[in-house]
């Protein structure tokens, strides 16, 4: 198992409160890794430190290393924009950009690549097809993204993220605002996408983790309690806390 | 239970009373302007500059003040925008995580907002004396833009504050820089509100008399260069109202009517423009 992201001794403080306590995990390439745990355990913070969105918040102090492709992305000399471009982000609820459906997907391509303006329409079509949205929107590409349903918006956000050719997809409870059918569409898409991408997804839904996880990181109160392959995690957990969580004690 | 219901009724009544009070005073102002201004309203008023006997109630109009006011407030609004939009974006995009610092800036802007416009006028005048500049359109534009800048920045800031952090994160995650996020995402998301904020500042600029009193001066001619003194509508109203002659006083109301109509027209135009962009706004 080849690891894509290597997190070493990661500690994160907001003010005096320690959110992440000495996190040491490896996230495998081309697999779906699920970060599991009860609310407030630091799952989202861990995910956001992977593309340094933690930079946006006041009083955040980070120490340790996050190594992606042999580079420590926490190192201050790193180009943050380039790091973020490597990763697509899917948030808890969709945040389409305030522009048309077409421009939402084209936005990332336009700002990152100067050449190949002519191929943008084809690429937009390709990425919309990739998330099964093309047939629903092909006749109204110029209408505002805000008019789509929440489920469609979330798929649009995925297409937009894929359009910048990331290597990693970060997802923070991407189905929590969606209806069951849209959720299923996203889950199925993730299983397809892991052929080409490394998927890291945060969830608190145990059944969802069972359905799609290859690898599980279980967190509790800022610490990684247990991590391992999904099969081992669900059938043969080692830690007491994990056993209790799987039985539903924390939910 | 019954007490709560009475409470509800009392507050509802208070609400209706205050709403009707505000709307009534607005209608009263507009009505009195129309009532007193319409009789002396004529094509001559808006198409001619003051002629020989204008200030004794004879022929001529206030085209000089209309044009002057438009020059002055458009100039001042544009100048204030050149500084105001970058300041407001900087506060909300670049300094977003330094909350305490930004709140400090807001506090000082609010202080500046509270300073009476006559003080800005006096300040502008002092600077002009120091630099040896005479009363002119340029001096007026600079003074008024300083006066409306805090108003504009705070209004823009309140609008930009409403952009959710999730949208900011989404844009950064696509590999855009902070400036791309500011100009392509923040502005697009908030454009109707931004237009309203700029309009509010324009309204302050065109309606203020005190800040232009010492700085732009007054003249019966339409300025042909920004170094010339310029007439403005608020001062035209002020001078005409102070006249002992009945016809001139009634023209003051016509001038007020023209000023009101200009502000109304610009509000409508801004609404139409912002409605066009409003469809892209993401509602949260």
Whole-angstrom distance, CA of residue B22 vs CA of residue B8: 21
- Is A131 domain-assigned? yes
pLDDT category at B264 given cuts 50, 70, 90 is: confident
Structural domain of A135: 97-165
Same domain, B154 and B269: yes
Split into its structural domains, chain B has a count of 2
Look at chain A and report how many structural domains it folds into: 1
- Return the pLDDT at B91: 95
Q: Is B168 on the interface with A (CB under 8 A)?
A: yes
Which residues of chain A neighbour B99 with C-beta distances below 8 Å? 58
Is B33 part of any domain? yes
Residues B8 and B31 in one domain: yes
Q: Whose CA is closest to A163, among A220, A122, A192, A208?
A: A122
Contact B99 A58 (CB under 8 A): yes
Q: Among A56, A100, A160, whose Cβ lies nearest the Cβ of B168? A: A56
Best residue of A86, A90, A98, A101 to probe chain B, by most B CBs closer than 10 Å: A98
The average pLDDT across A229-250 equals 83
Same domain, B159 and B28: no
The terminus-to-terminus CA distance of chain A in angstroms comes to 32
| B133 and B78 inside one domain | yes
With 0-12 / 13-18 / 19 or more C-beta atoms within 10 angstroms meaning exposed / middle / buried, residue A166 is buried
Indicate whether B116 belongs to any domain.
yes
| A147 contact residues in B (CB cutoff 8 A) | 279
**Structural domain includes residue B118:** yes
Say how many C-beta atoms besides its own lie within 10 A of residue B270's C-beta. 17
Would B283 be classed as within a structural domain? Answer: no
Q: What residue in B sits closest to A108 (Cα-Cα)?
A: B174
Q: What CATH number should be reported for the domain holding residue B271?
A: 1.10.3720.10
The stretch B31-39 carries a mean pLDDT of 90
State yes or no: ipTM above 0.90: no
Could you tell me if B27 and B101 lie in one domain? no
Domain that includes residue B68, residue range: 43-278
What's residue B243's pLDDT? 87
Residue A206 lies in a domain: no
Residue A111 falls within a domain, yes or no? Answer: yes
B23 and B116 both lie in a single domain: no
Whether residue B199 sits in one domain with residue B155: yes
B216-225: pLDDT as tens digits: 988 888 888 8
- Judged by CB atoms closer than 8 Å, whether chains meet at A107 and B164 is answered as no
pLDDT over 70 (residue B268): yes
Count of pairs with CB atoms under 8 A, one residue in A, one in B: 91
| Of B47 and B16, more confident | B16
A160, part of any domain = yes
Q: How far apart are CA A235 and CA B114, in angstroms?
A: 68
Mean pLDDT for the stretch of residues B150-160 = 95
Q: Is residue B284 part of a domain?
A: no
Q: Is residue A117 part of a domain?
A: yes
Give the sheet arrangement for strand A3-14, strand by strand.
A17-28, A3-14, A60-68, A71-72
Specify whether B48 is located in the same domain as B162: yes
- Residue A136 in domain: yes
Residues B196 and B137 in one domain: yes
Residues B31 and B59 both lie in one domain:
no
- The pTM for the full model equals 0.85
B109 with B161, same domain: the answer is yes
Q: Could you tell me which of B256, B216, B215 has the C-alpha nearest to residue B234?
A: B256
User: Quick one: B93 and B15 in the same domain?
Assistant: no
User: Does residue B17 belong to any structural domain of this protein?
Assistant: yes
């Amino acid at each position: 198992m080849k690891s894509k992201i290597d997190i070493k001794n990661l500690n994160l403080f907001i003010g005096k409160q320690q959110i992440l306590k000495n996190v040491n995990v490896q996230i495998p390439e081309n697999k779906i890794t699920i970060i599991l745990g009860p609310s407030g355990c630091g799952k989202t913070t861990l995910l956001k430190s992977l593309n340094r969105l933690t930079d946006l918040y006041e009083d955040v102090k980070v120490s340790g290393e996050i190594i992606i492709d042999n580079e420590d992305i926490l190192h201050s000399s790193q180009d943050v924009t380039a790091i973020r471009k490597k990763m697509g982000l899917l948030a808890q609820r969709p945040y389409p950009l305030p522009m048309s459906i077409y421009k939402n997907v084209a936005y990332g391509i336009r700002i990152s690549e100067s050449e190949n303006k002519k191929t943008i329409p084809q690429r937009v079509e390709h990425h919309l097809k990739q998330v099964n949205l093309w047939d629903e929107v092909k006749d109204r590409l110029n209408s505002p993204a805000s008019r789509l349903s929440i489920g469609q918006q979330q798929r649009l956000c995925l297409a937009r993220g894929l359009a910048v050719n990331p290597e990693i997809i970060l997802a923070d409870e991407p189905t929590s605002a969606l209806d069951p059918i849209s959720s299923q569409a996203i889950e199925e898409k993730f299983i397809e996408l892991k052929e080409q991408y490394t998927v890291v997804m945060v969830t608190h839904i145990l059944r969802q983790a069972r359905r799609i996880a290859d690898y599980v990181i279980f967190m509790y109160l800022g610490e990684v309690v247990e991590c391992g392959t999904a099969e081992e995690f669900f059938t043969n957990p080692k830690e007491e806390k994990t056993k209790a969580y799987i039985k539903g004690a924390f939910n | 239970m019954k007490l709560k219901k009475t409470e509800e009724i009392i507050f509802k009544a208070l609400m209706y009373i205050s709403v009707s009070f505000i709307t009534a005073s607005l209608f009263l102002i507009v009505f009195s302007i129309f009532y007193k201004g319409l009789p002396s309203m004529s094509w001559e008023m808006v198409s001619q500059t003051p002629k020989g006997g204008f200030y004794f109630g004879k022929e001529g109009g206030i085209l000089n003040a209309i044009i002057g006011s438009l020059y002055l407030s458009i100039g001042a609004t544009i100048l204030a925008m050149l500084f105001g939009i970058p300041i407001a974006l900087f506060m909300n995009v670049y300094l977003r995580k330094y909350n305490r610092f930004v709140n400090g800036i807001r506090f000082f802007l609010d202080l500046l907002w509270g300073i009476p416009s006559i003080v800005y006028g006096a300040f502008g005048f002092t600077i002009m004396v120091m630099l040896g500049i005479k009363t002119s359109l340029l001096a007026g534009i600079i003074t008024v833009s300083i006066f409306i800048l805090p108003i504009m920045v705070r209004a823009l800031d309140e609008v930009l504050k409403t952009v959710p952090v999730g949208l900011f994160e989404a844009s950064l995650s696509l590999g855009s820089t902070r400036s791309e996020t500011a100009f392509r995402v923040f502005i697009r998301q908030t454009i109707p509100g931004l237009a309203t904020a700029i309009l509010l500042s324009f309204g302050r600029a065109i309606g203020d008399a005190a800040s232009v009193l010492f700085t732009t001066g007054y003249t019966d001619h339409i300025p042909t260069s920004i170094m010339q003194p310029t007439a403005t509508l608020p001062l035209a109203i002020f001078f005409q109202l102070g006249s002992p002659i009945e016809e001139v006083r009634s023209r003051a109301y016509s001038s007020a009517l023209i000023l009101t109509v200009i502000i109304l027209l610009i509000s409508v135009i801004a609404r139409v423009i912002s409605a066009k962009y409003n469809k892209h706004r993401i509602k949260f």
